[in-house]
Chains A and B, each alone.
Chain A
Amino acid sequence: DAKTTQPTSMDCAEGRAANLPCNHSTISGNEYVYWYRQIHSQGPQYIIHGLKNNETNEMASLIITEDRKSSTLILPHATLRDTAVYYCIVAPGAGSYQLTFGKGTKLSVIP
């Protein structure tokens, strides 16, 4: 069973920031938070990951609460191409760990 809880769907206006929440209240100390997304008819794509500090890359920012029980993925300026299902996953992050996908959040970016 997935160890995360995400809203089923969200809308975001094009050009605005998309904030996707994720609850992972049972996360262990050695587990990382990963975000992947899946655009229609494609395989999932890695976005970002973090342990306890906030992270930013060219695609997104990841904000993890101090208690690590929840996180938010931020797409700063959403475009129509960001319409996808976004998966929040917790995993050990050491060696060849496995990803357990839930149902994710369907983000629709509206023109």
Chain B
Amino acid sequence: EAGVAQSPRYKIIEKRQSVAFWCNPISGHATLYWYQQILGQGPKLLIQFQNNGVVDDSQLPKDRFSAERLKGVDSTLKIQPAKLEDSAVYLCASSLGFSGGGGNNEQFFGPGTRLTVL
């Protein structure tokens, strides 16, 4: 079974530039998540999609970050304009979207995109 795919793996940009990240979840997974992981910290959820609708974007800095999941499959996360503090690894994860009562709605993570803002 193919895992969660992300691209690019690395990106270096200057502050005030824009950048976009792409995620292809596991086939059939209804839920898609974007996380931001700053060095030395655990991942922080930015946005959660259920199919092509947003479930939670309360921690997404909406003045500069945007995300979409067209047709309920692939997703893109965009930053415009980037700031120095946006330097981080951006992780995409997907899950089936339901636990079936047993508590196991395992999230599968991609390898992440490492963003460096200079």
Contact = CB atoms under 8 A, between A and B. Distances in A.
B72 interface: no
B81 to A, nearest CB: 27
A43 B4 contact: yes
Chain B interface category by residue count: 20 to 34
Interface string B13-36: 000000000000000001101010
14 contacts: A32-B103, A42-B111, A44-B43, A45-B109, A51-B103, A85-B42, A94-B103, A95-B99, A96-B48, A96-B50, A99-B43, A101-B42, A102-B42, A103-B40
A28 interface: no
A95 B98 contact: yes
A41 B4 CA distance: 15
B4 to A, nearest CB: 7
A68 interface: no
Contacts of A85: 42
B11 to A, nearest CB: 15
A69 to B, nearest CB: 18
B91 interface: yes
A99 B40 CA distance: 18
A10 to B, nearest CB: 16
Nearest to B98: A95
Contacts of B62: none
Contacts of B108: 46
Given A49-B104, A51-B103, A103-B42, A96 B31 contact: yes
Interface in A57-111: 85, 87, 93-104
A43 B93 contact: yes
Contacts of B101: 94
Nearest to A32: B103
B95 interface: yes
A13 interface: no
